[in-house]
Amino acid sequence: MKTASNLKTLVDLLGHYSPSGQEKTAVDFLVSRMNHLGYDITYVDEVGNAIGITGDGPNELILLGHIDTVPGEIPVKLDDDGVIHGRGAVDAKGSLAAFVDAVGALGGIPGWKLIVIGAVDEERDSLGARHVRNLFDPGLAIIGEPSRWDRITLGYKGSARLEITVSNASMHSAIVQETTSERAFNIWSMIKQWDEEQNIQEEKFFNQLNVSLQGIESGNNGLEEWTTMQIGARLPLGSSPKAYYQQISNLISPEQVIPLGYAIPAYKANKNNPLVRAFLRGIRDVGGKPRFVTKTGTADMCIVAPVWKCPVIAYGPGDAKLDHTPHERISAEEYLKAVAVLRAAITNLCSL
């Protein structure tokens, strides 16, 4: 595929299919690419994250994107009209590649250390972000997630998953008794009604608790029958995963609630700080009208921001409605505008 030089990082990165757990070839490419672009230090850390560093000043800015994607490979294609197709074009290799290109173009800035991280496992349990949050202590951080080139994301909801299993001794189908599938259905109906009641007073979707039935399976080994449900939740600010698990346990007692995976609380950043002001100016410098958004999904911002305790935003090109879909694509124009915004914003920030 013939690719314009200013799109090479993105297109080549998309060419390395990297669902969670299979990021190695994409990580190796990104480290090589950052080295080619003149980064001072490039390496793969202990958990498989790609790290690139330029500069060595006392001020530290981290640009944290994720290099893994959801499963489902999409052939990489650059249309004649400048639209780039591929898994991760939006979520979130577009943002990560833009970080790499912007920092590479800026080179060293006196007094500043710029650190780009391509984190692994974000689409599962965020192993990469959980590793680096305790290794670095930046003064400012940008999280790579799609928000369109002219928007700044300030917050994400939290997430929690759980499993509920109901079981009975096996019985003849002629016996009139509630099956485990019926019991599970009634439990789910109870949880869904409880969820709706929690949201009666909340008009904004970002402030609502939202549960979803993500999987259901039943079986019978001749001695016992069972039905297992996996339930996901998007948590609003102020709703901790621990409290959510306890609420569900109280609601459906005596059924056992088993937490799954790594739960994440919601997070919303303050917009009154130099980082936000630098991005507002950067978007305007590129001809945009900046806007703020909050997202109903979850991101690594929720993991690192409470630990780093510094000004943080999420930023990146692409239409988030295309996340995880078979139609992931991004326009070259939007990608290049995002790179320009990043360059302008970082320049503005480092000149303060």
Kindly list the domain boundaries of the chain, sorted by start residue: 5-156+267-350, 158-264
Do residues 159 and 235 lie in contact, with contact meaning Cβ atoms separated by under 8 Å?
yes
Tell me how far apart the alpha carbons of residues 165 and 170 are, in angstroms, rounded to a whole number. Answer: 15
pLDDT number for residue 179? 87
| Strands 50-54 and 112-119, sheet pairing | antiparallel
Q: Which of 100, 129, 132 is nearest to 31 (CA)?
A: 100
Q: Which of 58, 98, 66, 89 is nearest to 320 (CA)?
A: 89
* Catalytic residue selected from 12, 68, 225, 328: 68
> At residue 172, does pLDDT exceed 80?
no
pLDDT number for residue 104? 96
Both tokens of 9, joined, read 């990082």
Residue with tokens 């001749």, as numbered in its chain: 222
225 is catalytic: no
Q: Which residues contact 243 (CB under 8 A, 6 or more apart)?
A: none
How many C-beta atoms surround the C-beta of residue 178 within 10 A?
11
Cis status of the peptide bond prior to 254, with omega within 30 of 0:
yes
Per residue in 253-310, pLDDT (tens digit) is: 878 899 999 999 999 999 999 999 999 999 999 999 999 999 988 999 999 999 999 9
323 is catalytic: no
> At residue 1, does pLDDT exceed 70?
no
- 0.75 cut: is pTM over it? yes
Q: How confident is the model at residue 171 (pLDDT cuts 50, 70, 90)?
A: low
111: left (phi over 0), alpha (psi -120 to 50) or beta: left
β-partners of residue 19 are 69
Between 124 and 220, the more confident residue is: 124
Q: Which residues contact 49 (CB under 8 A, 6 or more apart)?
A: 27, 67, 117, 118, 119, 120, 128, 131, 132
Separation of CA 291 from chain center: 20
Q: Which of 68, 81, 26, 88 is nearest to 325 (CA)?
A: 88
Cα angle 97, 5, 102 (rounded to 5 degrees) comes to 35
Q: Which residues contact 250 (CB under 8 A, 6 or more apart)?
A: none
pLDDT number for residue 253? 82
Percentage with pLDDT > 70 across the chain: 97
Residue with tokens 């500069």, as numbered in its chain: 55
Q: How confident is the model at residue 108 (pLDDT cuts 50, 70, 90)?
A: confident
How many C-beta atoms surround the C-beta of residue 92 within 10 A?
31
Q: What fold, for 158-264?
A: Alpha-Beta Plaits (3.30.70)
Q: Which of 227, 232, 303 is nearest to 265 (CA)?
A: 303
Q: What fold, for 5-156+267-350?
A: Aminopeptidase (3.40.630)
C-alpha distances in Å from residue 131, one per residue of 208, 215, 259, 300: 30, 29, 21, 11
Q: How confident is the model at residue 174 (pLDDT cuts 50, 70, 90)?
A: low
3-state secondary structure at position 344: helix
3-state secondary structure at position 197: helix
User: Residue 29 corresponds to which amino acid?
Assistant: F
Mean pLDDT of the chain: 93
Per residue in 300-342, pLDDT (tens digit) is: 999 999 999 999 999 999 999 999 999 999 999 999 999 999 9
β-partners of residue 215 are 230
Per residue in 39-83, pLDDT (tens digit) is: 999 999 999 999 999 999 899 999 999 999 999 999 999 998 899
* Catalytic residue selected from 122, 150, 328, 334: 122
Cis status of the peptide bond prior to 26, with omega within 30 of 0:
no
C-alpha distances in Å from residue 282, one per residue of 28, 105, 264, 315, 347: 31, 16, 31, 12, 9
